[in-house]
Amino acid sequence: MEAIILAGGFGTRLRPFTYTRAKSLLPILNKPMVSYLITMLPKKVDKVILAVNYRRDQIEDYFENNDFGKEIIVNDEPKPLGTGGAVKFAEKHITGSFFVLNSDIICSLNLDDMIEFHEKKNAISTISLWPVENVSEFGVVDMKRDGNVVGFVEKPKSEDAPSDLINAGAYFLELKVLDYIVTGRLVSMEKEIFPRIIADTGKFFGFEFKGYWIDVGRIQSYIAVHKLLMKNQNLDYVQGNNCENNGKLTNSCIGDNVFIGNNSDVESSVVFDSAQIGKSVALNNCVIGENCKIGNHSNLKNTVVGDNEPIIEKTVLDNIIVWDQPVPKGYPKKQIGNVIGE
Ligand code: GDD
Ligand code: MG
């Protein structure tokens, strides 16, 4: 059985870290995001197709050096084809019912249970569902009691949303879904294909699950996913290899080769590899990039410091993104694809 992982987005809401990295390789508790998706797949999935374009070289490198016991195909789109176009582009690798996963979801969904549900309902498409308060950043379903989805609307205004149940970003699909997607152009699964399958077949079902779910799409949810996973594992903090920590870490994760000076206090923050945090530094709700140097006696709150950025002594920052380097060529200025409020 095959699974397609959609990993081609630019991750514009996770800038500046995605200027230099594929979003799906961003570390979560010091492991690339995509590794969580692969380990979530059922045993019977023996082939994984990574639908990529932006920074595909980094993704290829990662899988050359890390074995997950499954065949991994890095399927490089010549240009971003959207969530539907990327699935169609993987068609030649698909042999039967298959999974599609957004690469930026971290959740407790059991995909074996989802297959069972799909088969029981004799569905053509089953999508995972999660309830949220603010639905306007997501795809929202209109669903009957028995799980039959009768409407799907991507990123509606909250007053137009049919329910509080959103598309949690994992689908189990029959082969015939591929016939709905035209080849070679930008196609949105959520905007074009799901509504057509619902209208044409009536066999589109929603699968709700319990536990936890986070879309790691923006900096705040990136910090939140760290805190959630640490809480689930009863950990106060996570520390990589070869670190020297002379301060205090609370609800925080630091990468490899990180130095933290005396009397420093790191709270609800993520610090990437090789960062140097001086003494008497306070970090609260921050993400600090690779090789950053944070000067002594600095106080940073709700702040993002991009890779290699120096912060001089006694700096006070609140709600700032520090990034002073050129933006890579071809990187979009704003989010593309299923944009909110389009
Ligand atoms: N290969 C490829 N090509 N992948 C893409 C492309 C593309 O052109 N565009 C987006 N992706 C990937 C992204 O990397 C991500 O893993 C996934 O497709 C979804 O794109 P996002 O940009 O993250 O979408 P979103 O978060 O705004 O909304 C989606 O996820 C929500 C749940 O997290 C939608 O599926 C919503 O309906 C859903 O509720
Ligand atoms: Mg997303």
The pLDDT tens digits of the residues spanning 39-76 come to: 999 999 999 999 998 888 899 999 999 999 999 999 99
Q: Tell me the pLDDT band of 278, cut-offs 50, 70 and 90.
A: very high
Beta bridge partners of 338: none
Taking CA atoms only, the protein residue closest to ligand 1 atom 7 is 82
Residue 341: what pLDDT?
Answer: 37
CATH no. of 2-215? 3.90.550.10
Determine if ligand 1 sits within 6 Å of the CB of residue 103.
yes
CA of 84 to the centre of ligand 1 (A): 10
Name the segment(s) of the chain with CATH classification 2.160.10.10.
230-322
For residue 310, the number of C-alpha atoms closer than 13 Å in the C-beta half-sphere is: 3
Determine if ligand 1 sits within 6 Å of the CB of residue 33.
no
Length of the chain: 342
88-116 per-position pLDDT tens digit: 999 999 999 999 999 999 999 999 999 99
Give the alpha-carbon dihedral of 265, 325, 335, 41, to 10 degrees: -60
Beta bridge partners of 107: 213
Q: Tell me the pLDDT band of 335, cut-offs 50, 70 and 90.
A: low
Neighbours of ion ligand 2 (CB under 5 A): 104, 215, 217
138-197 per-position pLDDT tens digit: 999 999 999 999 999 999 998 999 999 999 999 999 999 999 999 988 999 999 999 999
Determine if ligand 1 sits within 6 Å of the CB of residue 104.
yes
208-223 per-position pLDDT tens digit: 999 999 999 899 999 9
Fold of the CATH domain 230-322: UDP N-Acetylglucosamine Acyltransferase; domain 1 (2.160.10)
Q: What is the mean pLDDT of the chain?
A: 94
**Is residue 334's pLDDT more than 70?**
no
Name the segment(s) of the chain with CATH classification 3.90.550.10.
2-215
Model confidence, pTM: 0.93
Residue in the structure block whose two tokens are 């993704």: 59
| CA angle (319 as vertex; 268, 325 as ends), nearest 5 | 100
The percent of residues above 90 in pLDDT, for the chain, comes to 87
